[in-house]
Structure 1
Amino acid sequence: MRLMIVTLFVTLVLQGCQDEPLNTTIYMPENGSSLVLRSELDAELEGLIQRYGLTGDPLRGKNLPSIDAPLAQLGLKLFFNKALSGDKDVACVTCHHPLLGGGDNLSLSIGVGAENPDVLGHKRLLKDSLTLGVPRNAPTTFNSGLWQQFMFHDGRVAQVAGGITTPDVPYPQPDAQAGHNLVHAQARFPVTSSHEMRGNLFDRGGTTQTCRDRLAERLREEPNWLSLFRAAFAQADAAAETVMTEQNIAFALGEYERSQVFVNHAWKQYVQGDLTALSSSAKHGALLFFRERSEGGYACAACHRGDFFTDEQFRNVLMPPIGPGKGGVDNLSQQDYGRWLVTQDPADKFRFRTPSLLNVAVTGPWGHNGAYTTLEGVVKHMLNPFQAALSYDSAQLQQTHIPHMHLQENLREMLASNTDMAGQAYREEDVGYLVDFLQTLTDPCVTRSECMSRWLPSKDSDEQNPLTLQLDARFEP
């Protein structure tokens, strides 16, 4: 659309922002449609967008599968099926439901040992009060195919020289069995975790590999799966032992996860030229997000870089140490040392992967352990981690079983370690601006069940849904 451009000096009152005279450019469309005002906010944001080389589109140069692809469709069925759990009581979707932001809406996930295995969300409870559950928050599966370097909060699956390293081999040695890509490698591990899917009895005393092989063997005994694998892998006459392998199971699961691409948010529209895509308050929040501290901002983009809003590096941001910690029941201090558990480098203690902020409004609770249950709360923490950690109120947690008896003691140990966030004083109104901006990073599809239905199993007929162990989630109010 061709535009005539006229520059006027006007006084605009921006909702939620300071009242100030702005040098405003008015774009006058030749077709007679509504005028578009380009304010000084837009002009400064344009400069920041150019400074950081943003395009709004993190998919550039990447080739990710469609949910309609045969392998992604097989992965969908596997993702929702309890046959891959040791006690046949949980599925991958238990902790990563598309209608729950690709997570589970819990601070700390509950895999095996739930009071009601098919209940998901806030009403999912542990059957035994002595059980601690999963020691970390479930990362969203949304846009998982965009990660280039690391998977999991501690990066224990990582792209390294010569391939991909995993917990099955000494770090940083590449694992010959890791698979085709990072998501394929990641998909091989939840089924081996006693807290997440395996349970305490299945393949007891075995290795991660024997666990996977036994699950694949058991799946081959279930009806209807062989024809699905043959069709998805285009091997019409393949024997079950050939096509229904643990590698093919994980690859299909990974293709389903990689198909969950949700990047069509308002910020993308704004970066690509639609100045009306953001409210003035969200634009003000964007300025605070991208400006350096010396420019009156909070330098959020120093870590949340690029169109994927992460540099994929590890930092100690003093996230309050709630939960049992990664050591589980044997970790008496209930401490989680993060990246150190992978590298054994003392400098990596308490460091966790910088999360992407795409769809952040729907992927809470926030933090590697879900310590914050509101977006406003985690924003305040990131603006001044030291003060927020010292004044942390565990009453906000929605799960009463989460232990935090050593919170202050563990926090002192964290403070004695190297922290990566200096923090600064901030204005309360700036929190609202930043939250408004973060809201613009959510793809509207993830908030609409009809849009997300493509990533849910069909219930139309027995032919489309022949699998007896499918998890039909219940979301109780």
Structure 2
Amino acid sequence: MSKHLVPLLLAILAAPAAAEEVEFHPFDPAKAEIGRLLFYDPILSGNRNISCGTCHHHKTFSADALSLGIGEGGAGVGPERTAGTGDDAIRKRVPRHAPALWNVGATEFETFFHDGRVSVSPHYEVGYDTPAEEWLPEGLPNILAVQALFPMVAQFEMAGNPRENEVAGAVHDRVDYAWPILAKRVRTIPAYGEMFVRTFREIEAPEDVQIVHIAVALADFMGSEWRSLDSPYDLGTMDAAARRGGILFRDKGCATCHSGPLFTDHGFHAIGLPPFGPGRTRRFDPTARDVGRMAETDDLADAYRFRTPSLRNVALTAPYGHNGAYPTLEGIVRHHADPAAALAAWTPDLAKLPAAPWLEAVDFVIHQDAREMARVAATIDLAPVPLSDAEVADLVAFLGALTGGASRHGRLGRPDAVPSGLPVD
């Protein structure tokens, strides 16, 4: 029996103490307050039109409620977000689903992003393997601070397109060239400059503020804002259906990958989710595909494998899968029960994609590539597991019992205004 299954069984049958089992990185409340403002401030985007909070909003429980996100150029938040118009119309959907941020400050997280492209590693002599390679700034205290750097320099998320702004232009040359530009934007806003001087001991004047300080503030906010370990599962108040579902969760093998108090092994698995959207392509990819972890490791054994998500608050953060392929918990549970059959039966109407007629030719083009679809199906790691309708319902009830109480709304919440004076989504 896996070392994770024994504590899980005990947790199902008795009131667990998950909060005592999870260790978090320490945070400074004053730095977290700066991070809260920066998280919702569009000043960190190339065109000053999107913030971290746009796709990880309190309104949608730290996710965005879309299958594939609408990054810079769009308007609105959550299910109401649109793809923009005219010159502001998006050129590409964000290739993957925006993950929820629950408990990301836990020290057990050593990889981030669906493909693990940010990970703790001895590579490049900076302690982390990232898209910045050896150009990662020094002084980042933990992997959450490292992760915070990359959405703001991603073209279709926050940076914008080359020749649109100086940030995107710098990223086009080399990723680390953009961070000093963003740091200068922040420190030259008097309110931010004063807060950094007051809060960081090593900062004597606003001109000392660097991107590392911004990343630390963002990490202290994210790591403290979305801690959630107060669910019925934690409190021992699950109803009968959830208790039955918890036993099924163990007996049907769900806990093999969704293990531990955060319900993730932090590993990478191929479960045959139906591909769609622009794909996270590499320069030599011939089609709009997403090969998952393999794109980072260049190892064929990693093809179509994606990081196991935590299941905390999963009932609040639909749709599900690395590309948001399923709008309901029932759908993703049934997919896990028989991935090959579910892949074959999946239909595009299940994807929640804001209308963008100019992108429709690409949205589902991958389904016309019989060889690529066959490759996705051939790599599935999960064997079929028979589930009755009643068992599916009990599993869904158990997943619902992982929903936090007051914690679901965050600790500080969304600010009404930010020092840049830009609109807050």
> What's the TM-score, normalizing by structure 2?
0.87
Distance 2:148 2:139 in 1: 10
Q: How does 1:13-52 map to 2 (within 5 A)?
A: 48-49=9-10
1:434 to 395, 401, 414: 395
Report the secondary structure of 2:321's partner residue. coil
Answer with 205-214 or 308-317: which moved more: 205-214
Could you say if the C-alpha distance between residues 404 and 73 of structure 1 is closer, same or farther in structure 2, counting changes exceeding 3 Å? same
- Structure 2 residue 412 is matched with structure 1 residue 454: yes
Give the AA of the match of 1:455: G
- Map of 1:294 onto structure 2: none
- Say whether residues 1:217 and 2:184 are aligned partners: yes
Aligned residue number for residue 226 of structure 1:
193
Q: Which residue of 1 aligns with 2:220?
A: 255
Letter in 1 for 2:158: M
Instruction: Give yes or no for the alignment of 1:390 onto 2:344.
Output: yes
Of residues 372, 377, 380 in structure 2, which corresponds to 1:419?
380
Tell me how far apart the structure 1 counterparts of residues 22 and 249 of structure 2 sit (CA, whole Å).
26
Q: Specify the alignment match of 2:274 in structure 1.
A: 320
1:126 matched to which residue of 2?
83
Deviations 1:289-312 (A, max 9, x none): 011xxxxxx110010011110100
CA contact (8 A) 1:165 1:178 kept: no
Q: Give 1 or 2: higher strand fraction.
A: 1
**Cα distance change of structure 1 residues 175 and 84 upon mapping to structure 2, 3 Å threshold:** closer
Residue 227 of structure 2 contacts residue 407 of structure 2 at CA under 8 Å; is this kept in 1?
Answer: no
> Using the alignment, how far apart are the partners of 2:300 and 2:238 within structure 1?
43
Decide whether the 8 Å contact of 1:178 with 1:185 is kept in 2: no
Q: Please report how far the alpha carbon of residue 411 of structure 1 lies from its aligned counterpart in structure 2 after TM superposition.
A: 2.0
Residue 242 of structure 2 corresponds to residue 282 of structure 1:
yes
- 1:78 equivalent to 2:28? Answer no
The 1:265/1:69 distance shift into structure 2, 3 A limit, reads same
Secondary structure in structure 1 of the residue aligned to 2:295: helix
Q: Match for residue 191 of structure 1?
A: 152
What's the offset of the Cα at 1:330?
Answer: 8.1
Where in structure 2 are the equivalents of 1:61-100 lying within 5 Å? Answer: 62-65=23-26, 69-100=29-60
Alpha-carbon contact 1:358-1:442 (below 8 Å) kept: yes
Amino acid corresponding to residue 165 of structure 1 in structure 2? D
Provide closer, same or farther for how the CA distance between residues 54 and 327 of structure 1 changes in structure 2, counting only shifts above 3 A: farther
Partner of 1:38: none
Secondary structure in 1 matching 2:120: strand
How far did residue 443 of structure 1 move?
0.3
Contact 1:54 1:306 in 2 (8 A): no
Percent identity of equivalent pairs:
32
Partner of 1:379: 333
- Contact 1:366/1:375 (8 A) holds in 2: yes
List alignment gaps of at least 5 residues for structure 1. 1-43, 271-276, 292-297, 460-464
Contact (CA 8 Å) 1:155, 1:339: kept in 2 or not? yes
Paired residue type of 1:472: V
Distance 1:347 1:46, change over 3 A: closer
Residue 145 of structure 1: SS of its match in structure 2? coil
1:458 Cα deviation from its structure 2 partner: 4.9
| Aligned residues of 1:290 and 1:300 also touching (Cα < 8 A) | yes
Work out the CA distance in 2 between the residues paired with 1:131 and 1:47: 45
Instruction: Work out whether residues 308 and 358 of structure 1, in 8 Å CA contact, stay in contact via their aligned partners in 2.
Output: yes
Aligned to 1:15: none
Please tell me whether residue 158 in structure 1 is matched to residue 122 in structure 2. no
Larger mean CA deviation between 424-433 and 71-80 belongs to 424-433
Maintained 8 Å contact 1:56/1:267: no
Correspondence for 2:165: 202
Residues 1:241 and 2:200 aligned together? no
Residues 140-149 or 371-380, more deviating = 140-149
Higher relative contact order (CA 8 A, sep 6+): 2
C-alpha distance after superposition, 1:198-256 (max 9, x if no partner): 10123313321111111111223323210011122145x712221x2011111111111
Q: Which runs of 4+ in 1 moved over 6 A?
A: 44-47, 50-54
Q: Which amino acid letter does the alignment assign opposite residue 131 of structure 2? A: P
**SS across alignment from 1:158:** strand
What do residues 356-408 of structure 1 show as CA deviations (whole Å, max 9, x unaligned)?
10110012211111111111111111111111111001112221446012225
Q: 2:244, 2:394 within 8 Å by CA — same for their partners in 1?
A: yes
- Contact 1:132 / 1:328 at 8 angstroms: preserved in 2? no
Distance 2:407 2:421 in 1: 28
Deviations 1:143-165 (A, max 9, x none): 11124221110001111247222
Return closer, same or farther for 1:372/1:434 CA change in 2, 3 Å cut-off. Answer: same
Aligned mates of 1:217, 1:376 — CA distance in 2:
47
Q: Tell me the CA shift for residue 72 of structure 1.
A: 0.5
On the 8 A contact 2:67/2:324 being kept in 1, the answer is yes
Residues matched between the structures, number: 399
**Does the residue aligned with 1:74 lie in a helix, a strand or coil?**
helix
- What letter is aligned with 1:166? T
Matched AA of 2:78: G
Q: Point out the more displaced range, 401-410 or 420-429.
A: 401-410
CA contact (8 A) 1:99 1:446 kept: no
When the two structures are superposed, what TM-score results if normalisation uses the length of structure 1? 0.78
The answer to whether the 8 A contact 1:135-1:324 is kept is yes
Structure 2 counterpart SS, 1:356? coil
Which ranges in structure 2 are unaligned for 5 or more consecutive residues?
Answer: none
Instruction: State the Cα deviation string for residues 416-459 of structure 1 (Å, max 9, x = none).
Output: 3x321112222112111100000000102255xxx546222156
Give the structure 2 partner of residue 265 of structure 1. 231
